[in-house]
Amino acid sequence: MQLRIHAALALLLVPLSSACLVDRTTTNVPISREVVGTLTPGTTTAREAVAALGAPLEVVQLGLRSAYRYEFVVSKRAGLVLILVGLISRDTRSDRAWLFFDEEDVLTHVAATFEGADSQYAMPWDKVHE
């Protein structure tokens, strides 16, 4: 009987003594792989690129040239907060696109990386992206 009472007390303590958290944060809107694929170096102008992808997050002047940055960031966080131990892990990845224009505002280079979807919920000891 006494053992059952102890067990019940221990079970009551469990929900009071621990918490877990899972959250996902995104910044900006996803970049369309298809739209980026339609941009053609030597042909597409800055005006056409902005019409297709929207306003860039950043415009960098490179002498007479320029570069536009588009980025969609995904951050996933998982944690376990026990009475005496707190374990929290965050994994941040992004979809990025850089468009390079010459002095005539014609596209010269496109660079795109799509890793936002690879962001993972994990514990600190987990080995991700390996």
Partner 1 sequence: MSASRHIARAASLTLLALLSCSSCVRLNWNRNRWQTPPNKEGSAAVIAAGAPLGEVLSVLGAPVAVREHRRDSVVITYGWDEVDSKGVNLSVPVSRQLSLSLDVRNNRTGARGLLLFFDRDLRLIAAEEGWLQNPRDGVRTRRPSLPETVLSTS
Taking CB under 8 A as the rule, which mask of x and - marks residues 17-36 in contact with partner 1? x-------------------
Residue pair 49/105 in contact (Cβ under 8 Å)? The answer is no
CB of 48 to partner 1, least distance (A): 20
- Token pair 């002047």 is found at 61
Answer for which of 35, 39, 54, 91 binds partner 1 (CB under 8 A) is 91
For 42, left (φ over 0), alpha (ψ -120 to 50), or beta? Answer: left
**Longest distance between any two alpha carbons in the chain, whole Å:** 86
Answer for which of 22, 110, 117, 121 binds partner 1 (CB under 8 A) is 110
Distance from C-alpha of 25 to C-alpha of 124, rounded to nearest angstrom: 18
Q: Is the dihedral of CA 44, 45, 50, 56 positive or negative?
A: positive
Measured from the CB atom, is 55 or 85 closer to partner 1? 85
Q: Does 92 bind partner 1 (CB under 8 A)?
A: yes
Which residues contact partner 1 (rule: CB under 8 A)?
Answer: 6, 13, 17, 41, 60-65, 67, 69, 83-94, 96-98, 100, 109-113, 115, 118, 122, 124, 128-129
